[in-house]
Chains A and B, each alone.
Chain A
Amino acid sequence: MDTLLLSRLQFAAATIFHFLFVPLTLGLSILIAVMETKYVRTGDEEYKRMAKFWGKIFLINFAVGVVTGITLEFQFGTNWSRYSQYVGDIFGSLLAIEATAAFFLESTFLAVWALGWNRLSAKAHAVTIWLVAFASNLSAIWILIANSWMQHPVGFTLRNGRAELTDFLAVVTQPFAWHTIFHTLVGAYILSGMVVLGISAYHLLRKQHVSFFSRSFRTAAVFTFIFSVAAVVQGHAHGAEVAKVQPAKLAAMESLWETTQRAPQYLFLVPNEKEETNRLELGKLPGVLSLLAYHDMNATVKGLKDFPKEDRPPVTISFLAFRIMVGLGFLFLALGSWAFWKRKNPVDHPLMLKVLLLAIPLPYLALEAGWTLAEVGRQPWVVYGVMKTSDAVSPIAATQVGISLAAFVIVYSLLGLIAFYLMIQHARRGPQEEEASA
């Protein structure tokens, strides 16, 4: 294997792993902040115990998110030095802003929150978790602006043998970035809500800590419901934006080979990349793809065959990732509505609780599938239309990348196993008595 393939595998492994831990911090920080605010408002100790219980899961999760995030920032330099040299003027500054404006805030105040219960007034302490929630979301926004620039580069010019910034505001305000931001945050909030719902369901099924987990359930049910509705509406808008700026990705995720006017949507199809066709097409809905992509049933959708072969993304992966994400998105809407409907007395609905418990891994799958589509669907470009991934890799020996890739796989697998074991152990044990007294 060559340096390019090994570096791609390494970056994929490192990002997928990192993103197992990030989404929960984005939404759970908000839920904890809501719980602690209720504690400050009502003085009810149970809300404080809730903030502490969910906070421990947050802390384990956060630790793994931090240490795996640093390796991503450094890998742009170690493995993608030609990319870094070419676009650092824009991309590097966005990463640097993320660290100075957001990540410092999150890391510093999370420690204050975790260790400062006795050192700050209740109000000041609640402010620290709001700062953590604000900073973690702000941090995600900057990273997503950077990623969106790779998806849809704007505000730059090619000068001095590289991409140079000409319009910072265009980079920060471009619609594609804000679609991505809302889409990712909404997905992260659904994941966070469903994790809280699932763990609460585990205890409610056993009728233990009923008041504690009914309250947690109710908060998370409202949260999940709102954002699962938002995901469907906003997801559609995001798809339309992709159709506009990344037509090759649209054709790949729909496995559309011929340029078609009044393009249909199929309920079921099997792509055949080799023959450049689909093996099976069932449930034809005429004009629906044109309608979804361009809000016009008679619009023409460009097919894969009209893109040069070397400019097409892998079709099967993009297609499957898209179906998984969208299918699960609708499932979350159903589950979110169910939980919202029964939020007043969830303990009386064991079937729903069982389903929610079993559904915990699904939002993880949906989010990883979404990012797989975003990144694989952008290929062969690292910066869409500007730089190919194959031109971005560092001029370094394949052996050292092979060794580091093996090390990543081993260390991250162990780390993941331990982190999830510790979180599950804490979740099953439930709230501790000393948490009430501390």
Chain B
Amino acid sequence: MVSEAGDVQSFLVQHPPFNQLSENQLEFASANIYVAFSKPGNELQLNKSTLDGPKTGMLIVRSGSLEIRDQQGVLIDRLSSGDYLVPGVLYSNTRNIPRIVVLEDCLYYELGDKAFQSLTATSSEMAAICETDKTHTVYSDDTGDDGSYQADDEVERKDVYPGQYVKDTMSSVIIFAAPDTSIREAAQLMREHHISSLLVKDKAQLVGIVTDRDFRIRVLADGVPDSDAIRTVMTPDPMCIEVDSLLQDAQLKMMAEGIRHLPVLDDQQPVGIISQTDILRENNIEPISLIHSISRTNSIDELSTVAGKIPDLVVKLVARDTRAIEVGKIITTLSDGITKRLLSLATEEFGTPPCDYAWLAFGSQARQEQALGSDQDNGLLLPDSISAEDAGYFKDFTGYVNNGLDQCGMPYCPGGIMAKNEKWRMSLQGWKSCFSHWIEEPSPKALMHASIFFDMRLITGNTELVLELQAFVLEKARSNTIFLAMMCDNALLHSPPLGFFKTFVLETDGDHNHTLNLKKRGTIPIVDIARNYALSVGLPALNSTDRLYAIKQAGAMSGEMSYSLIDAHEFIAGLRLDAQGKQYSAGLKTDNHLDPKELSPLLRHQLKDAFNVVREAQAAKKARFGGGVL
């Protein structure tokens, strides 16, 4: 007899968990394999031993595909070549025994139960597949450490683009302190506002600046007590720069003086502060010049031409390994710029609005997480005192802006959540009662559409109106556990696409056969989790990453879980951007679908782990907010 590994054995050795077995174990496994075939539509009955044949301990798909659904018809898993299932595990829930149905002509291997049992007894890899929900978290290396990635980017971003101005890059959030403020108070102030420098003002006069570095060099290193006044450690009469200066002048000045922060003056008054970090970050040439072009346009046509360059920019950013979170922020910044420009164009077109208003962005734009082709979600917040006549003004006004956004690549919202719909142009009182209704009498269906309203951000207009509405919503939501539980239930409808045995469950609808919907199955669940927790703690943060940090700070989620989620979010968003970039470059319409076959095995593995993190977080969330109404 000729010695031959045989087709079965050479197939097994390529697939987990068999690739982990020793040669003897593999031979043993292959000696206990029975090959069977079933045509589409047939149901496999693995719990009954077929006739007198041996009972099946494990089933491995050789070719074709199978589908596992529970009694209610909900898809549990889909198996194709190389995937396996363990009837013992699958049938362990005797109340809801899943059905295994053949999708495509399926040739499969059955491993006899006795052989399977003895393999699990001798191989830990085989034993592990019986515990299907094994958890592992692989992301912890590059968590929350912005330092490293900025350092990488410095290399590429060092050349400053002529024609950029300080006023566009500076941070206009400036915090002042009196010279007599204690060092400790000053440090607390900086922590509170997440800033690295503080301006010292005596009466109306700028007298000095303190930075993180001063605390290190002049306070800690010299052992100065923290009760001393900051006057003693500040840099007096700091170098300043005019608001109209070129960005490169600011950079030259800082480099020449060896300093990292420059207060920005407009007519002798400080209006902002610019740091080296700002320059490095914002020297992403294209976004800045695009924003400039946007602010210089004079018609919707011009604006849409400029907006047409955004996809190119995104492709470049992705190619440059910019973090997905940053890309989301850049896209949103551009969308914000476009919206603002459209609003002022509308004002030119229809005359000055008769009263104050606030243009609100909802959903991804509010969270600063837009992707290419994200549709617009917006509304208008008006003062309570508004007359019916004044309200009429906004009809054409909002129609103009919504249409403009559509032309600039942010398509109309399919759900109609747009300011041009009268329904979403409301007074403060109207919005309040709307939110009250969602929060106090939640119905699952209404909530499904309403959840994006809970991500709300002012684009242009009256800040006080928005602040009042936000405070109202946060307070109301936080105290209503039924609402939170409902929202949680709703969010669980979007489950990560992982099968029972940690394989991908692919979409089968429409044009997107055998793909993963990264947005629906990956991003949305994370966003939902972040929103759910943020509302429960009453956090005003909007961006999912910010929310997750804040949730962890508030003690509502373990650090491990929140960091894992942040990384999973970044990873999935990165893949999604990458895929969109490729689609765009290939001249295809961008969407959120990804064929896992296009991923390298390592990425595929990481993606599975990312989805697994999401699944765990969903389970934790369910435990926290309860399943359904009491």
Same assembly: no
**Contact surface of B with A, Cβ cutoff 8 Å:** none
